[in-house]
Structure 1
Amino acid sequence: MENEITEETQKKIDQIREWVATQSHLPKDLEDRILLRFLHSCYYDIDKTKHTIELFFKIRDNSPELINHRDPLSPAMQKALKISKMAQYTISGDRNVWFWQLNDPGLEQYDYVQDARMFFMSCDAWMLANNFLAAEDIVVMDVKDITLKFITKFNLSVARKLSKYQEEAMPIRLKQIHVLNAPSFIDKLFGLMKPLLRQEVTEMIHFHPPKSETLYNFISKEDLPQDYGGSQPSLEELNKKVVDIIMEQRETYLNENFWKTEKKGKKTKEATFRSLDID
């Protein structure tokens, strides 16, 4: 079920469209449904929507290691797709769940940068294929295979860009973050990320130790995949849907200029691109 566009909402879409047209650095091929998603994520605040769109492209322009070389059929991406399972689905209350599970005991195959690149790719696929505007977004991460070896895989520069993108540039309404099967040393790993996160985001994070049922205080058991005792399809099935969409968009990912700014032309005075800081 897609959200109905009211006359007032259409006026705001048109207003953002007109603004984009005055910004010589922004791509002009953004569909109305993409602009609507940004508006929705900002609760239809025009100024905030403009800032979010600017930051969305700013981070992408400054993250070639995450936005380029994204052929889903490449050996590196195929390996990443095999050790991680992703799911994006809607549950009760018009909420959207982003599920991620790592399957790599000992972290022998895990590549932090490649995982971040895959995240950008799956999010692009979701935006391209999905028009539903959720009331809120919930992230669920199963870290059953995470060990202290993760510290050696961590990349601070990429983590900084990734956290900024997730917190302020993605057109979603992030409300909850759940970490399942959190190990006893999770505080050490969280210590790597906490300095990069805004306080309001750290307050959204909930850790759930192995065999814990505390997640059910936030998400009903029925709204989880079958592997987690729920009524949703299995994580394997949900992951296949995500991978299928990614493969359908392969030609898009091969375009290194996709959703990047124009390199020619001067920006108007209203543009705030240079003032946006991602460091």
Structure 2
Amino acid sequence: MSEARDPEEVQRQLAELKQWVAGQPQLPNDLGDNLLTRFLHSCYYDLERAKTAINLFCTIRLNSPELLNNRDPESEKIQKTLKIVNLAQLKISGNRNLWIWQLNDPGLERYDYVQDARLFFLSTDAWLLNETHLEDADVVLMDVKDISLKFLAKFNVSVARKLSKYQEEAMPIRLKQIHLVNAPPFIDKIHALMKPFMKQAHIDMVDGHEIERLSTFSLHLKTDTGPGLNSSIHFHSPKSETLFNFIDKEELPDEYGGTGGKMADHMKRVLEVIHQKREFLIKDNLWKAIDLKKSGKESKNDVPETLPSFRSLAID
């Protein structure tokens, strides 16, 4: 069960948040009650944190046209990515939501990092449009069985920076754990690639481990703003059962030693939601901030005339 909240207090906070949004010329007018309530919930009903997260959420979207424009789920590029990626969005015990990403491209011949990121935004936006239940925690499971050192050549630093900022500090979920399963022995190389996106304290914590010798290790992430206040990353080697320490077997798909059904079937349900929300998802300006300088609108309430570029949004 979700933690008890006084419904009247939540409505009061929602009304205050709506009034604030209406007074911010840089924010769009399509942030409905459900989404604003989710921001409040993800920020543990801290209004100031919710405002910061909303601003960042909309600004990142404005500054990411390569990920959020021209993303019709029926387009050839999206369909190509859908052939090598399976996704699942499952409700599990503890009032948690489990997000699963599974890559099925052993040689990484068809894999495109940018298109994968576009699919992330597409599928999570569909979920935000469709889902009203508020989870106490969100857990991410990424199957990296097909990730090889070839991935390094496909990696896009600019997109990775945006994704990291968005996932940790802007997306209205309560991200608690990230699990990388089937972690390869060269995970230390991938870790080296991640270093530029981590605070120094996080880097020091991981560097203290001999990563390649462990069946599982953890990295704890803390952010100063937004929903991702305190989350952890756990790496699980192939054939290990350490994942069961965090998620019950019956809640996991068959591919991960569970009895929760096949990933292909879960993917069908994700696609159903995406297609149901297609008319919203194909709008290039969905939940995007407004560039005040280009729009000609006057700023007020001490809002800068132009939104910050991604240089100013860089991870500390």
| TM-score normalised to structure 2 length | 0.84
Q: CA deviation at 1:269?
A: 2.8
Task: Tell me the distance in 1 between the aligned counterparts of 2:40 and 2:129.
Answer: 16
> Residue 313 of structure 2 aligns with which residue?
278
Runs of 4+ in structure 1 over 6 Å off = 1-5
Matches for 1:114-263 after TM superposition, within 5 Å: 114-198=115-199, 199=202, 200-201=220-221, 204-263=232-291
Paired residue for 1:267, among 285, 299, 311?
299
Aligned-residue sequence identity (percent) comes to: 55
Q: CA deviation at 1:250?
A: 1.8
Q: CA deviation at 1:69?
A: 1.5
Aligned residue for 1:177, secondary structure, equals strand
Give 5+ residue unaligned stretches, structure 2.
203-219, 223-230
Asked if residue 60 in structure 1 is aligned to residue 61 in structure 2, the reply is yes
Q: Report how many residues are paired.
A: 279
Task: Tell me the distance in 1 between the aligned counterparts of 2:266 and 2:303.
Answer: 40
Task: Tell me the distance in 2 between the aligned counterparts of 1:130 and 1:270.
Answer: 34
Residues 103-112 or 226-235, more deviating: 226-235
**Is the helix fraction higher in 1 or 2?**
1
Aligned residue for 2:192, secondary structure, equals helix
Cα-to-partner distance string for 1:115-169 (whole Å, 9 max, x where unaligned) = 0011011110010000111111101001111110000000001100110000100
Task: Tell me the distance in 1 between the aligned counterparts of 2:163 and 2:255.
Answer: 28
Q: Which amino acid aligns with 2:221?
A: V
**Is contact 1:101–1:142 with CA below 8 Å preserved after alignment?**
yes
RMSD (Å) for aligned C-alpha atoms: 2.0
Q: Which amino acid aligns with 1:207?
A: F
Task: Tell me the distance in 1 between the aligned counterparts of 2:64 and 2:98.
Answer: 26
Describe the shift of the 1:230–1:270 C-alpha distance in structure 2 as closer, same or farther (beyond 3 A): farther
Q: CA deviation at 1:239?
A: 0.9
Q: CA deviation at 1:24?
A: 1.2
Residues 172-181 or 243-252, more deviating: 243-252
> Residue 215 of structure 2 aligns with which residue?
none
Aligned residue for 2:107, secondary structure, equals helix
Q: Which amino acid aligns with 1:220?
A: D
**Is contact 1:163–1:197 with CA below 8 Å preserved after alignment?**
no
Give 5+ residue unaligned stretches, structure 1.
none
**Is contact 2:67–2:118 with CA below 8 Å preserved after alignment?**
yes
Q: Which amino acid aligns with 1:227?
A: E
Q: CA deviation at 1:261?
A: 2.1
Task: Tell me the distance in 2 between the aligned counterparts of 1:156 and 1:278.
Answer: 14
